[in-house]
Amino acid sequence: MIRNDVIDAMLARKSLRRYEDRMPSDEVIETVVRAGQQAPFAAQLGSVLLSRGPKNVPFAAPLLFTICIDAHRLETIMAGRGWPMVTNDLTLLFFGFQDATLMAENMVIAGESLGMGSCFLGGTPFRADEVIERYGLPRRVFPFVELTMGYPAENPPARPRFPMDFHLFEDKYPDFSDADIEDAARVMDEGYLAQDYYKKAKAMVKLEGERAETFNYDDYSWTEHMGRKWGQWFPSPNVLLEQLEQCGFVLRGLGENSDADPDATA
């Protein structure tokens, strides 16, 4: 691989949950957010909320950024030009996911370049109502992900990733053999076990239903953890749909008639 300072910082990146009791300067904060702004975008549909810790911030981090999908700001600009929003909310949200994600990743890389670390908090969409109340958000702003950031007080290793031939597919998506799947699973499981990741975090997902527990922290690793999460959690979209509706985004019923989708007759 080619190596340089940027690549090395990206490859060494990991989630941090312990931070020094040191507040980044306003100049550092503005630099991180400005780098986020410069990410590619569809319509600048991402905006950023900031809280300073350590009080009431996860992991007692000095900074908590909340990255939002912000249609309110775009619609305000459009209204000033006499344009109502007619794009359906599903399409708008998909572009918003892209804008917010790219902006957040730019912020992470910028923070790393300034000697800081971070941790994404992916459960934010399920607590949108709490974020609305905390920040007084207007309708059409959806809290997408939170990001703690600060100077690291720990230095864990970078987490394992799939082998390249299980990740990069040129010209055609492959038909995975049993050996391919087993090799990729082994890389992930052995990597996490070598770091005692789940043991240190006490992060075994409880089994639901009638499955008997056969794992302990000596053999519980990434593939079992992923299986338990996505094989048990959130079978219904209703919680997320309700949170989106509280933010003014309505997805239920889209596409059921031509009035909901101007291109439905195509």
Q: State pLDDT tens for residues 175-185.
A: 999 999 999 99
Q: Looking at the structure, tell me whether residues 16 and 138 fall in a common domain.
A: yes
Above 60 in pLDDT, residue 118?
yes
- In DSSP notation, 150-199 reads E-BS--PPPPP---GGGT---SS-----HHHHHHHHHHHHHHHHHTTHHH
Q: Looking at the structure, tell me whether residues 140 and 176 fall in a common domain.
A: no
Contact 78, 4 (CB under 8 A): no
Count up the domains in the chain and report the number: 2
Give a yes or no: residue 262 inside a domain.
no
User: Count of CB atoms within 10 A of residue 41's CB?
Assistant: 16
Q: Looking at the structure, tell me whether residues 179 and 91 fall in a common domain.
A: no
Mark which of 119, 150, 181 sits at the end of a domain.
Answer: 150
Give a yes or no: residue 247 inside a domain.
no
Q: pTM higher than 0.85 for the full model?
A: yes
Give a yes or no: residue 257 inside a domain.
no
Q: Hey, what are 171's tokens? A: 């010209």
End-to-end CA distance of the chain: 47
User: Count of CB atoms within 10 A of residue 85's CB?
Assistant: 13
CATH of residue 71's domain is 3.40.109.10
Q: Hey, what are 265's tokens? A: 């007759």
Cα 182 to Cα 101, 190, 191: the distances in Å are 31, 12, 14
Per residue in 54-97, pLDDT (tens digit) is: 999 999 999 999 999 999 999 999 999 999 999 999 999 999 99
pLDDT at 253: 82
